[in-house]
Structure 1
Amino acid sequence: MTEIMQLLLELSSAIKEIKAQLLVLKQTRTEQFKQNWIEGQEVMFALKISKRTLQSLRDAGTLPYSRINGKFYYKIADLEKLLESNYSGNLKNESHD
């Protein structure tokens, strides 16, 4: 009977450890999602654009998106690509002769 109790205690301990590891994995995936995708409101705030401008970017195919239940999500990497592709790296020399 003591052996069974010992085995049950070991099993219980192993289950607790697995549960803790699953919780960490779940949090990690949630954090990865938050780091990779943002909602339309966040895009409008970050780029200081209107809802209509964001819609125009979607309609033109300029900014890829995912839509779930009427809510739009955007990859941060796509936003960075959009900004990079429109970056004007050539600064004009403003000399006033």
Structure 2
Amino acid sequence: MESSPAGLNRAWALFGVYGLFFGLTEGTEKALVADLVPRARRGTAFGWYNLAIGLAALPASLLFGFVWDRVGPPAAFTLGAFLALLAAIVLGFVRVDRR
């Protein structure tokens, strides 16, 4: 990373965008979890949700770092975009039982 003021400004802008992304997505993810399970099982569902997020973060980061190191940054970001698109397609098949 650059140590110039322009490089620092870009880093802060990226942190802002990253924070905005989490602010826009984390609440909707939890709302989806609440919609998918009956009220009596929501605590358990949130526990499993957070466990899945935690367990998936490490291998995802390792895979990204491996691809970055072996193939290069564009390939790592392309893989990330592809996997995000795949996840969105799979999410489209989730059915919510509104009882």
Shorter-chain TM band: 0.3 to 0.5
Question: Which structure's residues are more often helix, by fraction?
Answer: 2
More strand per residue? 1
- The higher radius of gyration belongs to 1
Higher relative contact order (CA 8 A, sep 6+): 1
